[in-house]
Structure 1
């Protein structure tokens, strides 16, 4: 850690509280092994319903080779906006992407489901006309960050929206069909919507086009998840084409801990935070590691110390006392200061109307950020190591997406270091930031699906001709 002083001596009260966030190497091994057992349970038909890592089938069985060529469309759907993309795969590792970001108005997001999908279809129509591909019936894939239940490559049943969306009559329906119906109203365009994936699967597929040994997609941001490549024979829940050797699994590892497996490390702050969420008792792993929750945990510890009269004695709780107001970008700024310098930390505290703070208090805030953020990275390393062990490849690339990994000054270092300690030395891994978005992966999925369907049709015709 970058703290100059010995924290136990400099901040004894804070150190006592933060010991609750320190996880031993033995605890990390225990967590990794527990996750491995839950993955096996998630893949097993008899135990899937009880598993806290449910291992959802993505129905993506074709992996890119890097030799795919052509133009494909994608729609990325995020909690506040969407992005429509035209992706062209050229020679070697050349990917050309043209995109349009669209902010989803609150009135649309909070309205009826058909209003939302009509809005999306209208913007897709504008985009394909602008790109002069409105008549080409290009394959389109959807990268979807909301909770859904996959039943086929092109069947994703919406389970729930995130905060801010109220399109309730879309819940329980197939997102692909909803978009198909809306797009069909535009008679002058032809778009072939063929598949839907979540962001972890999309990130995996996007990197796999350039790195064929990419077998894991890791998301560390507002949400936490991992997708990995499993052998089809191990997927007992799958009733489709078992002749294809692989199936990408959406692990939904954010749910780990729902069966009490994390209770031995969850502390009073974790439990209090959980009760303030809209889904108490669920997604407990995510609530220990994701950016929204890290910020709230840091804020909660600061408030506790202020109420004890330990730090910021000249300031009040009027603004720092507001829940969910400590954002991850503030934590990144605080830890980006050089050792012993707290300029950015003071800028963050200025936002809470706490000006001219004592240097020692600012140093204590940085210490709080370091400990809680490090715990997040260590827990994510447990999940990563779990999947690397499961696949047991000699060499593997991991696609990682999420601002905290890319922008935080120490998060990536901690995650890599802790994963190295947990992973068998015979399984070498390389974590690569996914420069191409999940939408690029969704476009690849769409293209591969159409190619596979065309090959199947050609074989069927050849069989008919022979007979």
Structure 2
């Protein structure tokens, strides 16, 4: 159970090699860390202001926040939030039902906060591995954690949510961005401290993102400037690279999980 310093340095070396493999155009397909480009090109510079809604789907609870950022006298951030349960039958049911649930919670939130008549910009924190080609579109690669809703893998989650909102027809929402929770965390901290260039989540799952030089990211065209990369580091070892270190307990816990062999 206790690793020597030597073993830890060895794991670090393997981990670094996987990060590099994930960034490479030829090696990404077989890399366990997918190093997903997020299309977030910079951290906040503190001049941002406005009235926003943030959705956070990915843990055991679904959260909705209204965030007001203003600069009168001094910078202030006001937040109001509500938490909604996501029952197992919704997590494991159909994708349509899941996004209907999200749209219903958002409707309830807007009703409660008396903003149903406004079309506010929405940021959608969706804490699962997504392939992105732009900021407001994210194709779910695969469910992780306790989620297993059908018909969502391979689909654009922004489109699914828009469809659920349109079907209701009692409010409008403008989904500007879909981001991973690691990215949301980095951006929030970056708002207060511009030196923050890493976001880490340790919760239902674990993951990290960081700002990378664009020239190192083969999956995106161009080499000027930087982009935030979602490492999806929870998958480290999924390719068998940690088999010599896993104990009988690791194997047993994995066997009993919803996605055996994944997120080792």
TM beyond 0.5: yes
**Which residue does 1:211 correspond to in 2?**
193
Structure 1: state its 5+ residue gaps. Answer: 1-20, 285-467
In the TM superposition, what whole-angstrom CA distance separates every residue of 1:7-28 from its partner, at most 9, and x where no partner exists? xxxxxxxxxxxxxx11111111
Relative distance call for 1:223 and 1:177 in structure 2 (3 A) is: same
Aligned to 2:216: 234
Q: Does 1:94 align with 2:76?
A: yes
Choose between structure 1 and 2: higher strand proportion: 2
Deviates more, 1:201-210 or 1:85-94: 85-94
Aligned match of 1:262:
242
Paired residues of 1:134 and 1:191 also in contact (CA < 8 A): no
Match in the other structure for 1:119: 101
Q: Report what 2:150 is aligned to.
A: 168
Which residues in structure 2 correspond to 1:68-87 (within 5 Å)?
68-87=48-67
Runs of 4+ in structure 1 off by over 6 angstroms are none
Q: Which residue of 1 aligns with 2:180?
A: 198
Residue deviations 1:180-200 (CA, integer Å, cap 9, x gap)? 111123444231112111111
Unmatched 5+ residue regions in structure 2?
none
The DSSP-based 3-state class of the residue aligned with 2:141 is strand
TM-score (norm 2): 0.89
Aligned residue in 2 for 1:10: none
Q: Which residue of 1 aligns with 2:259?
A: 279
More divergent stretch after superposition (78-87 vs 259-268): 259-268
Structure 2 residue aligned with 1:408: none
In the alignment, the residues of structure 2 paired with residue 99 and residue 68 of structure 1 have an alpha-carbon distance, to the nearest angstrom, of 20
Q: Does 1:57 align with 2:66?
A: no
| Cα distance in 1 between the residues matched to 2:168 and 2:196 | 38
Map 1:332-347 to 2 at 5 A. Answer: none
Q: Structure 1 residues 213 and 182 mapped into 2: Cα distance closer, same or farther (>3 Å)?
A: same
109-118 or 136-145: bigger deviation? 109-118
Q: Provide the rounded CA distance (Å) in 2 between the counterparts of 1:265 and 1:184.
A: 50
Structure 2 equivalent of residue 134 of structure 1: 116
Is 1:33 the counterpart of 2:13 in the alignment? yes
Per the normalisation by structure 1, the TM-score is: 0.52
CA contact (8 A) 1:86 1:99 kept: yes
2:22 match: secondary structure: helix
Superposition RMSD in Å:
2.2
Q: CA deviation at 1:104?
A: 2.5
Tell me, yes or no, if the aligned pair for 1:93 and 1:210 is still in contact at 8 Å. Answer: no
Per-residue CA deviation, residues 113-168 of structure 1 (Å, 9 max, x unaligned), is 22221222122123223333333322101111234333322222223445665531
Q: Given that residues 33 and 232 in structure 2 are in contact (C-alpha distance below 8 angstroms), is that contact kept between their aligned partners in structure 1?
A: yes
Work out the number of aligned pairs and report it: 262
Which is helix-richer, 1 or 2?
A: 1
Secondary structure of 2:246's aligned partner: coil
Asked if 2 retains the 8 angstrom alpha-carbon contact of 1:35 and 1:53, the reply is no
Question: Which structure has the larger Rg?
Answer: 1
For residue 264 of structure 1, report the CA deviation from its aligned partner. Answer: 3.5
